Amino acid sequence: MDIFEKCEHKSPADEVREMGVYPYFHALESRQDIEVVMEGKRRIMLGSNNYLGLTINQNVIEAGIKAIEKYGTGCSGSRFLNGTLNMHLELEAELAEFLHKEAVVTFSTGFQSNLGIISAIVGRTDYVICDKENHASIYDGCKLSYGKMLRFKHNDMQDLERMLQSVPETAGILVVTDGVFSMGGDVANLPEIVRLAKKYGARTMVDDAHGLGVVGEGGRGTASLFGLEKEVDIYMGTFSKSLASLGGYMASSERIADFVRHSSRPFIFSASMTPASCACALAALRELTAHPELVDNLARNSRYVRDGLTKRDIKHLESTTPIVPIYTYDKLRTLGIAKDLYDAGVYVNPVLPPATPPAECLLRTSYMASHTESILDEAMDIMKSVLESDKWAM
């Protein structure tokens, strides 16, 4: 049998292409901002994770340019060998101070961060217990480890305790949860997760990819939101969202960080963050530190949108974060409405199985501190018009 035979079969992607509702790989022709040019037309951007709007911040842009001029375009090696710049160490030190942790280890991508942390920490006799709605990179990190993975129902603390009770007393346990869940925008019940972890001798790790710059004191994330910075053992996060760059990190004690630096295959065998990525992340972190009002602006815009959707009778999932999902339920209807919104000048992200249950498809909208009320009103009016003229209803 030819291993490529599967590639020749008609795929779900082929089917939606034929229907004219394929939603992926729309090409940007402008900067990532509240308005963009995609495929020759202005679109209001409601599908970005650029929560603080720092991708167009002049200090961040200039930092990236200066880094290329000083260091060149790449590091051409892993952090373990020739790929460590003094700027990597500077970023790690300043981020550790910001997050109130002893140490930070940076990775080349956020996805790689979860692979590298979990596979290093969770050994053959260990267990890793995950919320069912955790990000795909957490699942792949569990697969890359030699430990056993258990899953608990989303934010269900009784189910988490049942999982903890099932683990042998001799096994190490790492409980891993998203802080802010990327699709629903809801926040983990971190106080109860930490309490249960301590009760059963487990350690905790929070994926704060969508929490950094979004929640907590000055945008310090989910643990800060609940006053649990000293209780959560490991934070993971990314630079590709609030910090307007590319890369990821782990924040922890110095001993845990040192162990991961010398044990994590994705860290040891990958080239380090490029000079420009590192410099932009560092500059964005300094912008966030100097301007905590960015986080307040983001929260204000998020409230404005939720209130505006309610006034327009647009059903959405309630949350306290800038991720606001709009219910569309059926797969074809979701794709069709996303296309109609795109054609009308609003970009949103359709979310389909396996990211949702089959009958719970949705449009994921996300907002920035830099959105204006006039732009948000324009986008919500377009959404109302498209949803009211819904030709995709079953």
* Residues labelled as active-site residues: 182, 210, 241
Q: Quick check: bond before 12 cis, omega within 30?
A: no
For residue 142, give the nearest of 174, 168, 165 by alpha carbon: 174
Contact yes or no for 232/223 (Cβ under 8 A): yes
Contact yes or no for 306/316 (Cβ under 8 A): yes
Contact yes or no for 242/213 (Cβ under 8 A): yes
* DSSP H or E segment with residue 308: helix 293-311
* DSSP H or E segment with residue 47: none
Bridge-based pairing state of the strands 349-351 and 361-366:
antiparallel
Which residues, including other chains, have CB under 8 Å from residue 93's CB and lie 6 or more apart? 104
Bridge-based pairing state of the strands 203-207 and 234-238:
parallel
For residue 285, give the nearest of 104, 38, 28 by alpha carbon: 104
d(CA 121, CA 148): 12
Contact yes or no for 204/232 (Cβ under 8 A): yes
Contact yes or no for 202/157 (Cβ under 8 A): no
